[in-house]
Amino acid sequence: MLPEWRCATLGMVLLFSCASEPAWVARPAPRAETQPVPAKGDAADDPAIWVHPSDPDKSLVLGTNKAGGLCVYNLEGQLVQTVGDGMRPNNVDVLHDFPLPSGPVDLAVATVRQKSAPGVQIWRIDATTGRLSALGGVLPVFGDAEPYGLCVYRSRRTGQSYFIVNRKNGQFEQHELSFSDGKLRSRVVRRFSVASQPEGCVADDELGFLYLGEEKVGIWKLAAEPDAPTRMTRIARVGENGLQPDVEGLTLYCTTDGKGYLIASSQSNDCFKIYRREGTNAFVGTIEPVAGKFGKVSETDGIAVTSAALGKRFPYGLFVAQDGKARSGARGNQNFKFYAWEDIAGNSLLMDPTWSPRSKK
């Protein structure tokens, strides 16, 4: 049974309103976990959530196996496909409704670190079959140098799609993604950098911002449009509000009114820090997962969240976290844990299961 909520009804949208306390702690247990990635050791890294356009129960979770390929899981955590084996994907994101001549398609976009052809690989996600297939070859970045972290951005101003990629030396490139003459193409439209190693990043399509994690330093915010200044504002500093290095995955929980939360993986103290999506990104509180049936997540790298209703399993949204320690199961390899958003939100955070990641007309 769901907890009792204090809620306000806004048209067809239920926004479960928050209490006024400045900070709080949520202690959810995972509802499910994925099958382990095939590779041993430090292999699982970054997840992304694909929301099915018409049947939420058929949505998928993508997870990188940085010693192998991209793992595709259903909402029960079962491994249903592996693509790009040997490409060593590190970070992955999903671009919904990318325009092709035949109509909009959904794309999985990942940094790959195979020595023969490092760069960005893109797969098409077939909504009918739930299968991924490569859409072209590897797109080079940084002059064929090895990439690290990645996120995608779709401009509400122009409708143009981008991916933002970084290197361990702090460099970033923003690439415009297009399709012409039967091929996916990318071109660099902006470059910027941070002083030390980054990895996680996430873009807010609706509000037009980009958030970057500098692992030992904190979280930076800048405008996401390619013609915008690259001036950054630090919205969270390592050492404040319990944020500890490494700052790893970043993800956005969005609601239809432009509100929601930025969530960051605070790796060394095994928790996740929550900040407001709007305004100056004020600190909200902490997620400190407990073990439950599937074990306690720890030393987390990548995370992903959606507020969209994902069928009967996750009707109020889903939070996914990589588990950095080997667990029981097949060879004790790493995996990903699934948390129901209502177990995190309680009576204190917004919930908006009507939000969609797809294009706003």
| 339 CB-side CA count, 13 A | 28
Residue 171 confidence (pLDDT)? 98
> Are 350 and 14 spatial neighbours (Cβ–Cβ below 8 Å)?
no
pLDDT tens by residue, 54-81: 999 999 999 999 999 999 999 999 999 9
Residue 15 confidence (pLDDT)? 41
Residue 23 confidence (pLDDT)? 72
Output the six-digit token pair for 23: 């900070």
How does the average pLDDT of the chain come out, rounded?
92
d(C-alpha 346, C-alpha 183), whole Å: 46
Give the chain's radius of gyration (CA, Å): 19
Q: List, edge to edge, every strand of the sheet that includes 79-83.
A: 44-50, 60-65, 70-73, 79-83
Instruction: Report the 10 Å Cβ neighbour count for 57.
Output: 13
d(C-alpha 314, C-alpha 311), whole Å: 6
Q: Determine whether 12 is exposed, middle or buried from the number of CB atoms within 10 Å of its CB (0-12, 13-18, 19+).
A: exposed
DSSP H stretches of helix in the chain: 341-345
pLDDT tens by residue, 294-351: 999 999 999 999 999 999 999 999 999 999 986 644 457 999 999 999 999 999 999 9
**242 three-class SS:** coil
Cis geometry, peptide bond prior to residue 246 (ω within 30 degrees of 0): yes
Output the six-digit token pair for 82: 């592996």
> Are 81 and 132 spatial neighbours (Cβ–Cβ below 8 Å)?
yes
Element (H, E) at 245: none
Q: Give every residue of the chain whose pLDDT is below 70, as ranges.
A: 1-22, 326-331, 359-361
Residue 325 confidence (pLDDT)? 85
**342 three-class SS:** helix
Residue 359 confidence (pLDDT)? 65
CA dist list (Å): 97 to 85, 153, 183: 26, 12, 17
DSSP state of 126: P
d(C-alpha 225, C-alpha 176), whole Å: 11
Residue 326 confidence (pLDDT)? 67
Residue 335 confidence (pLDDT)? 96
Place domain 16-345 in its CATH homologous superfamily: TolB, C-terminal domain (2.120.10.30)
d(C-alpha 226, C-alpha 190), whole Å: 6
Pairing of strands 283-287, 25-26: parallel
